[in-house]
Structure 1
């Protein structure tokens, strides 16, 4: 007698959720802005005091937490999936547009998916106003109630990414 085979659902991958082209763009883009491309293996407080680790991950992070490089890679992919799915749900027009999708995921990763989905950026994407949506990234340049130069720089980079190969 053989044991019954339990089928597990397939693991989600970033490529499976957003496609290979967008995954190749967004992964290093977000990591570059969140950690300079070198994951921080020890928990630290970010600019507004939130406990953070790796490439900007905040979910379940506590003081004193330490992670491995492999653990940071797994956390990073899971975090991008957690942000990509709501972005695609509220702006389905982005599917098949890897530059705009990557820029939107980066914005949502930084401001949160609820804020992204309620934003003028999302509304403009859904209205087919691609260039105007890309310009809207520049408004998200504050943390703790003040303009932060690092966010100004990030939003300019997201805007530039968003403007690549715009749909007509």
Structure 2
């Protein structure tokens, strides 16, 4: 499936605004990778979640979250992820490479990202190898998920954007 035209256009519009902004666009809103939910729900493992995958004790069960509130939560979450991951990126990256890594970390968690082969390859300046590692992360509960495959395809495309 890959990237929808709407998501591609949103990402193109965000180029030059920084990796956090690009990654936020990648995961948020109607066209984003997370799928926006305006009311809190329990995810597959029972974690209370809202908007574009926001979790935490600040969620008010039963409350309607507006697009503006969701945008703010996602940006805050992405900024936190970037702050956790950035100290572990030891090499120069392009804005889009870093955005892809943030989107990935937003999905799998900062710790998994920091300990990943993806980051080892990146820090060894194997940029192609690092971007390719994204495609390994398509399993949940021991089976391949189409949703994760699509997500990684988009992240891979963004990761390799500047190299085309």
TM above 0.5, one fold?
yes
Q: Is the 8 A contact 1:48 1:144 kept in 2?
A: no
Aligned to 2:105: 108
| Deviation digits for residues 110-168 of structure 1 (CA, Å, limit 9, x no counterpart) | 000000000000111111000000000011112233211100110111111111114xx
Q: CA 1:147–1:50 in structure 2 vs 1: closer, same or farther (change >3 Å)?
A: farther
Higher relative contact order (CA 8 A, sep 6+): 2
Q: Distance in 2 between matches of 1:28 and 1:123?
A: 26
Q: CA 1:103–1:94 in structure 2 vs 1: closer, same or farther (change >3 Å)?
A: farther
Check if 1:58 corresponds to 2:80. Answer: no
Q: Distance in 1 between matches of 2:150 and 2:44?
A: 15
Q: Is the 8 A contact 2:20 2:102 kept in 1?
A: no
5+ residue gaps, structure 1, are: 1-18
Bigger-Rg structure (1/2): 1
Q: Is the 8 A contact 1:94 1:100 kept in 2?
A: no
Total equivalences in the alignment: 145
Cα-Cα RMSD: 2.0
Aligned to 1:84: 82
Aligned to 2:22: 25
Q: How does 1:1-168 map to 2 (within 5 A)?
A: 20-31=17-28, 32-35=32-35, 39-60=36-57, 61=59, 63-95=61-93, 97-166=94-163
Q: Distance in 2 between matches of 1:73 and 1:92?
A: 29
Deviation at 1:67, TM superposition (A): 2.2
The secondary structure found in structure 1 opposite 2:39 is strand
The secondary structure found in structure 1 opposite 2:45 is coil
Q: Is the 8 A contact 1:51 1:62 kept in 2?
A: no
Scaled by the length of structure 1, the TM-score of the pair is 0.78
Deviation at 1:50, TM superposition (A): 2.2
Q: Is the 8 A contact 1:43 1:64 kept in 2?
A: yes
Scaled by the length of structure 2, the TM-score of the pair is 0.79
Q: Distance in 1 between matches of 2:122 and 2:130?
A: 6
Deviation at 1:25, TM superposition (A): 2.0
Q: Distance in 1 between matches of 2:159 and 2:41?
A: 30
